Amino acid sequence: MKYWLGFLLFTLSLQPAWADLQCKDYRGIKVSTIYTTKIADGATARHTRHGHPVILANTNILKGFSSVMTRFVYAHECAHHVLGHLKNKVSNVEFEQEADCWAAQTLVDNQYFDTNDIRKVQLMIRLYGIDDEVHPKPDERARNLMSCLRQTVASRL
């Protein structure tokens, strides 16, 4: 009972951060969120064994994130579904960069984020970003985030 109450309270605490964001994959299928503590990251895009797109969200990690960072993480994982990255069954730096750009642009375009929110995400990436073979180096990744927005604005002129 105590576990379920904690889970419910945590789930409710996430609600303001991303409950109003809707994610559909490249096929138009709604992406569900599954809350867990059994993954090593804050969140990850996956498919169920039946092929349903899901975002696994680590409740232990995300409870320490701000609402801005939680929204960005969700949008980033949604981007992997929207952009069809999981079709290839391989993860790479290019996919991570594309997901970051899609997340930043989508959050700004839909007025969930402004440039101050992007700066907050950049700071968190610089401080806590993963440096591995799949993710760009944290400083590079943070820099690229703002350039994604500049490139999109320039292309609209």
Report the distance separating Cα 84 and Cα 25, nearest Å: 7
Residues 6+ apart with CB under 8 A from 126: 138, 139, 142
Q: Which tokens go with 146?
A: 């703002």
Q: What is the pLDDT of residues 41-96, one digit of tens each?
A: 899 999 999 999 999 999 899 998 999 999 999 999 999 999 999 987 666 888 99
The answer to whether the beta carbons of residues 75 and 117 sit under 8 Å apart is no
Rg value, the chain, Cα: 15
Cβ neighbour number for residue 108 with a 10 Å cutoff: 18
The total number of structural domains in the chain stands at 1
**110 compared with 7, residue with greater pLDDT:** 110
Parent domain of 118: 2-156
Q: Which residue has the tokens 């594309």?
A: 98
Residues 113-157 pLDDT 10s: 998 999 999 999 999 888 888 888 999 999 998 888 866 544 543
Alpha helix positions (H), 40-130: 59-62, 67-82, 93-109, 115-128
> For residue 30, what are its two tokens?
């709604």
User: pTM here?
Assistant: 0.82
Q: Are 70 and 62 in contact (CB under 8 A)?
A: yes
